[in-house]
Amino acid sequence: MIEIIPAIDIIEGRCVRLSQGDYSRSKVYDSSPVDMAKRYADCGVKRIHVVDLDGAKSSSPKNLKTLEKMAIGASVEIEWGGGIKSEESLRALFDYGATYAIVGSVAARTPELFAEWLDMFGAEKMVLGADVRDGKVSVNGWQEDLGVTIEQLVDGFLPHGLSQVICTDISKDGMLEGPSFDLYTDLQSRYGGVDFTVSGGISSMADIERLSELRLRRVIVGKAIYENRITLKDIERWLLNA
């Protein structure tokens, strides 16, 4: 069964959700990131996906204190992304309690640096974040599209042991219209030794069930939880049957 990874997006220490990566279309939610992390852990979730949107926009992590509180307050693994552009930022992330680091812009812009980090920190701790719009990779908080495909990106890091990729279809993100099933099945079948995480568009447990039937391995769920389309009880039931 596919692993459900709940998402927490943070701006100024608060939970938010964007639509299609547009910062001007953000919605703030009442629950704190720490409280949400605890609630997910209580459901039996093993890993949560956290994006520091302030960091993504400013090119350096900005919510490390929130990360620290989450790591201390909830018994759950944290994959953290947003603004990781230097080895110093990467080390700070792990020091503050992240289990995995998600790297996107650096991997696309300076692939030799991400390859070095894969070798240095180990592929088990490093996650390639590939945000895709119209088949091309987008960087800097989805504000700039590059002429690189996700396949070109992945191919370059396979010799360095790349084993985890989060692929977000920006056109689907936050829209609650269902994910790009074909995109992910194609990627997973092409790269059997890499765990691809589906990200963007999940609207219901039916979407998750279909992804699981397609033998995809991981899925990030964000807005559907905040909008009560998928409940914590749904997630708990899924995990109990896993």
pLDDT in tens, 70-109: 999 999 999 999 999 999 999 999 999 999 999 998 999 9
pTM exceeds cut of 0.85: yes
Rounded to whole angstroms, the Cα distance separating 28 from 43 reads: 23
Choose the catalytic residue: 52, 54, 131, 234: 131
The pLDDT of residue 136 = 85
Contact status, residue 101 vs residue 125, Cβ threshold 8 Å: yes
pLDDT for 149 = 92
Q: What is the mean pLDDT of residues 28-44?
A: 89
Q: How far apart are CA 182 and CA 161, in angstroms?
A: 25
Q: Indicate the average pLDDT of the chain.
A: 91
Identify whether 131 is a catalytic site residue.
yes
Assign a CATH topology to domain 3-241. TIM Barrel (3.20.20)
Task: Quote the CA–CA distance of 5 and 144 in Å, as a whole number.
Answer: 26
- Which one-letter amino acid corresponds to residue 199? S
Structure tokens of 196?
């691809």
Structure tokens at 145: 């599209």
Contact 106, 84 (CB under 8 A): yes
Per-residue model confidence as pLDDT tens digits over 49-81: 999 999 988 888 999 999 999 999 999 999 999
Average pLDDT over residues 110-117: 97
Catalytic, 42? Answer: no
23 pLDDT above the threshold of 70: no
Choosing from 9, 54, 169, 173, the catalytic residue is 9
Q: What burial class does residue 151 get, using C-beta atoms within 10 Å of its C-beta: 0-12 exposed, 13-18 middle, 19+ buried?
A: middle
Q: Is the pLDDT of residue 229 over 90?
A: yes
Higher-pLDDT residue of 74 and 139 is: 74
